[in-house]
Amino acid sequence: MFLTNDPKLVVLGSALVIQYSCNNAYGVLTPIDYKALCLGINMAKAEEVHTMADYTKPLIELMDSLPPGEKVTLEGHSLGGFNLAIAMDRFPHKISVAVFLTAQPDCTHPPSYVLDQFIEKIPAGFWLDTQFSSNMDPVKPKNTLRFGRNCLASNLYQLSSSQDVALAEMLMRPGSLFIDDLSKAKAFSEVGYGSVNRVYIVCKKDLIIQEDFSVG
């Protein structure tokens, strides 16, 4: 296991899973099937992904496909912590450890609680040129955001090279925090989510996910 002050890649146990909002990358590495190193980018459009369950579907399908008795290690970054929590609740017997990289869902309150607290503490000037929009759907309301280049360079990739910022901007797509959906969901259970071993990685120079949101 490798932990660094500014980790770009963390490999633990028999699998690596990465998820984050807007830069929607997804990859899996196992010693059994190296051809699954990169599952590519899910090309579903933001308007087609209405709930956190929809957003987690690729991970759930992966967990469903695991052979009987096989356990994996999952790692979730930022919003990806919610993907892990959903998988942990459903497949605790298939997960040896869950690694939260600057991520921490709450298992006592409704899942949206941590996000509500997080948004309250973010200063308005943080978002800079980030674009916000709403689908105005009365049945499935959803707000989306797309980080702008200035916000990426100043607040998300402030320690990265200009080439990395340009690549991040190229891969950027609209994303959602699914707050309305999560506010209606039940808290993650102790018998599922709470029963899985957890590891927390804190990035002290992260400007968006502060330390008090990174450790459960």
Closest by Cα among 178, 210, 3 to 102: 210
User: CA 189, CA 210: separation in Å to the nearest integer?
Assistant: 25
Helix H segments across 66-129?
80-90, 112-121
15 is a domain residue:
no
Strand partners, 134: 143
18 is a domain residue:
no
Given a contact cutoff of 8 angstroms between Cβ atoms, the answer to whether 97 and 73 are in contact is yes
Summarize pLDDT for 25-76 with one digit per residue, the tens: 434 444 434 334 344 456 667 677 888 998 888 889 888 988 898 888 888 8
Segments of the chain assigned E as strands: 72-77, 95-101, 131-134, 143-146, 198-201
Read off the pLDDT band of 22 (50, 70, 90). low
136 is a domain residue:
yes
10 is a domain residue:
no
pTM here is: 0.78
20 is a domain residue:
no
14 is a domain residue:
no
Given a contact cutoff of 8 angstroms between Cβ atoms, the answer to whether 196 and 97 are in contact is yes
Is residue 97 scored above 70 in pLDDT?
Answer: yes
* Predicted pLDDT of residue 193: 93
The listed range with the strongest mean pLDDT (10-14, 70-74, 137-141, 162-166) is 162-166
User: CA 117, CA 155: separation in Å to the nearest integer?
Assistant: 19
Domain of residue 139: give its range: 34-213
Q: CATH number, domain at 79?
A: 3.40.50.1820
Query: What residues have CB less than 8 Å from 189, skipping those under 6 apart?
Result: 89, 107
* Predicted pLDDT of residue 41: 55
| Number of domains, the chain | 1
28 is a domain residue:
no
Give the other-Cβ count within 10 Å of 123's Cβ.
6
26 is a domain residue:
no
Summarize pLDDT for 163-215 with one digit per residue, the tens: 999 988 888 888 888 888 999 999 999 999 999 999 888 888 888 876 666 55
* Predicted pLDDT of residue 194: 92
Two structure tokens written together for 25: 């990358």
